[in-house]
Structure 1
Amino acid sequence: MPKKNEYNRMIMDPYDRYELMVNGTVVQTPIALASMAGVVDAEYALARSENAGMVCIGGYSIDEATMAASRLLVESGREEFLTDNPIAEIRAQAQILVESGLVVAVNMRGSAPESFAAVARAVGPGLVYEIDAHCRQEPIIATGCGEALLHDTGKLEETVRALKAENVTVSVKIRAGVADDDRALARALWQAGADILHIDLMDFGHTKLRQIRNACPLILIANNSISSFSVAKDMLAHGADLISLARHADPETLASLNEKIAAYADETGWYNAPKQLCRGGDIRSLTFCCMPVKKCPLLPVLETLGISRNEFMSLKLNGVKNTPIEGGENTCFGSLAWCCKSSTPCIFRNMALQEAGLSLPDYMRYKRRLSEKLMKRVFEGDAFYATE
Structure 2
Amino acid sequence: MTTAESEHADRAPLFTPRVALASLSGEADAAWARAGSDHAGAAFLGGIALDEATREAARALVARDREEFLPEDPVAFVADELDALADAPIRSGVNVRSATPEPIREVARVCADRDAILEINAHCRQTEICTAGGGESLLRETDRLCEYVAVAADADATVSVKVRAEVSGVDLRETAQRVVDAGADAIHVDAMDSETVVGDVARAAPELFVIANNEVRDRASVCEYLGHGADAVSLGRPSTDPRVRQRVGRAVEAWFDESSP
TM-score by length of 2: 0.91
Change (3 A) 1:151 1:201: same
Task: Measure the CA separation in 1 of the matches of 2:111 and 2:259.
Answer: 37
Task: Measure the CA separation in 1 of the matches of 2:255 and 2:147.
Answer: 40
**Preserved CA contact (<8 Å) 1:62 1:115:** yes
Please name the residue that 2:6 is paired with.
none
Please name the residue that 2:3 is paired with.
none
Task: Measure the CA separation in 1 of the matches of 2:108 and 2:251.
Answer: 36
**Preserved CA contact (<8 Å) 1:28 1:101:** no
**Preserved CA contact (<8 Å) 2:111 2:117:** no
Superposed CA offset, 1:238-287 (max 9, x none): 11111001112211111122123323433x243xxxxxxxxxxxxxxxxx
Say whether residues 1:96 and 2:95 are aligned partners. Answer: no
Please name the residue that 1:344 is paired with.
none
Please name the residue that 1:147 is paired with.
136
Deviates more, 1:180-189 or 1:71-80: 180-189
Superposed CA offset, 1:3-26 (max 9, x none): xxxxxxxxxxxxxxx98432xxxx
Q: Cα distance, 1:191 vs. partner?
A: 0.9
Say whether residues 1:187 and 2:177 are aligned partners. Answer: yes
Superposed CA offset, 1:323-374 (max 9, x none): xxxxxxxxxxxxxxxxxxxxxxxxxxxxxxxxxxxxxxxxx2xxxxxxxxxx
Structure 2 counterparts to residues 237-386 of structure 1, below 5 A: 237-249=227-239, 250-266=241-257, 268-270=258-260, 364=261
Task: Measure the CA separation in 1 of the matches of 2:243 and 2:228.
Answer: 25
Determine what percentage of the aligned residue pairs are the same residue.
Answer: 38
Change (3 A) 1:230 1:122: closer
Change (3 A) 1:123 1:232: closer
Task: Measure the CA separation in 1 of the matches of 2:197 and 2:259.
Answer: 25
Say whether residues 1:113 and 2:101 are aligned partners. Answer: yes
Task: Measure the CA separation in 2 of the matches of 1:94 and 1:122.
Answer: 9
**Preserved CA contact (<8 Å) 1:58 1:107:** yes
RMSD: 1.5
Q: Cα distance, 1:180 vs. partner?
A: 2.4
Change (3 A) 1:123 1:212: closer
**Preserved CA contact (<8 Å) 2:54 2:133:** no
Unmatched runs of 5 consecutive residues or more in structure 1: 1-17, 271-363, 365-388
Please name the residue that 1:234 is paired with.
224
Superposed CA offset, 1:192-242 (max 9, x none): 11100000000001x211111110020000000011111101111111111
Change (3 A) 1:123 1:196: closer
Q: Cα distance, 1:97 vs. partner?
A: 0.9
Change (3 A) 1:71 1:199: same
Structure whose alpha-carbon radius of gyration is higher: 1
Unmatched runs of 5 consecutive residues or more in structure 2: 1-9
TM-score by length of 1: 0.62
Please name the residue that 1:21 is paired with.
13
Which residue of 69, 72, 78 corresponds with 1:84?
72
**Preserved CA contact (<8 Å) 2:188 2:210:** yes
Q: Cα distance, 1:123 vs. partner?
A: 4.9
Q: Cα distance, 1:182 vs. partner?
A: 1.2
AA at the equivalent of 1:47 = A
Task: Measure the CA separation in 2 of the matches of 1:211 and 1:243.
Answer: 16
Please name the residue that 1:135 is paired with.
124
Which residue of 10, 23, 26 corresponds with 1:35?
23
Task: Measure the CA separation in 1 of the matches of 2:131 and 2:81.
Answer: 28
Say whether residues 1:208 and 2:197 are aligned partners. Answer: yes
Task: Name the one with the larger strand percent.
Answer: 2
